């Protein structure tokens, strides 16, 4: 029901653009440094695991033309979307639940309803829309720094040349990989914010309830992200 109300009020985003842009700044701009940091190490770890596997079986020289392409496929379709979504679930999903939960226990939401302001329009819609729009932007930044981190580690530890790494990406790159990751990110962002709003509206029990809601939002969002990702993998 909350999701339907958010969808119903989405056309009013133009008249409520200030609320939406404020949330876009919080969800997107403020989270960008953390996303870049995690993205760089995600790429480095992906490169380390991929190359170590080939080294283990003495296949590194044979596999050099494929390392960059294999790493980029994993980064574009799985690692960047999922790990970035989990970061946002912890940082933003929990914050949304705590903010709305605080308003719920302090009866601020009751005050909004007394003034004939629908909380779904004023609180939920801007947050869900902002998360849905900003998640793909964060994913793009995560892609770039992850590939850079992967190349840096592969070149320093395994002497993989720039031509081998980026040539492999160019040879085996498919636009569908980027599209799949961005579609996942849209869904992850919307689901994370929607769960945070729902948990926040259901908060009770004072300060202790607010803390429990933040933890519950992160737990449910993380589980939902992994289940949706598994569903994508099964269907596609």
Q: Are 160 and 91 in contact (CB under 8 A)?
A: no
Find the distance separating the first CA and the last CA of the chain, reported in whole Å.
29
Q: Are 225 and 86 in contact (CB under 8 A)?
A: yes
User: Six-digit token pair at 92?
Assistant: 């933003």
* Tens digits of pLDDT across the chain (236 residues): 989 999 998 888 888 888 899 999 998 889 999 999 999 999 999 888 888 888 888 887 888 888 889 899 999 999 999 999 998 898 899 999 999 999 999 989 989 989 988 899 899 999 999 999 999 999 999 999 999 999 999 888 888 888 889 998 998 889 999 999 999 999 999 999 999 999 999 998 888 899 999 999 999 999 999 999 999 988 87
User: Six-digit token pair at 190?
Assistant: 């919307």
Name the residue ranges covered by the structural domains of the chain: 17-230
């Amino acid at each position: 029901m909350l999701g339907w109300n958010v969808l119903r009020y989405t056309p009013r985003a133009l008249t409520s653009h200030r609320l939406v842009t404020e949330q876009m700044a919080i969800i997107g701009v403020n989270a960008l440094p953390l996303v870049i940091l995690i993205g760089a190490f995600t790429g480095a770890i992906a490169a380390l695991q991929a190359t170590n596997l080939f080294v283990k079986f003495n296949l590194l020289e044979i596999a050099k033309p494929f390392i960059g392409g294999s790493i980029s496929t994993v980064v574009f379709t799985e690692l960047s979307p999922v790990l970035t979504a989990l970061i946002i679930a912890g940082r933003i999903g929990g914050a949304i639940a705590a903010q709305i939960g605080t308003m719920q226990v302090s009866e601020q939401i009751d005050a909004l309803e007394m003034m004939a302001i629908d909380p779904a329009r004023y609180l939920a819609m801007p947050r869900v829309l902002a998360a849905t729009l900003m998640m793909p932007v964060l994913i793009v930044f995560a892609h770039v720094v992850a590939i850079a981190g992967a190349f840096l580690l592969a070149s320093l530890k395994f002497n993989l040349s720039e031509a081998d790494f980026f040539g492999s990406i160019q040879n085996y790159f498919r636009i569908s990989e980027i599209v799949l990751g961005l579609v996942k990110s849209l869904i992850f962002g919307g689901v994370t914010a929607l769960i945070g709003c729902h948990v926040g509206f259901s908060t009770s029990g004072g300060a202790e309830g607010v803390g429990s809601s933040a933890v519950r939002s992160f737990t449910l969002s993380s589980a939902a992200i992994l289940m949706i990702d598994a569903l994508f993998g099964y269907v596609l």
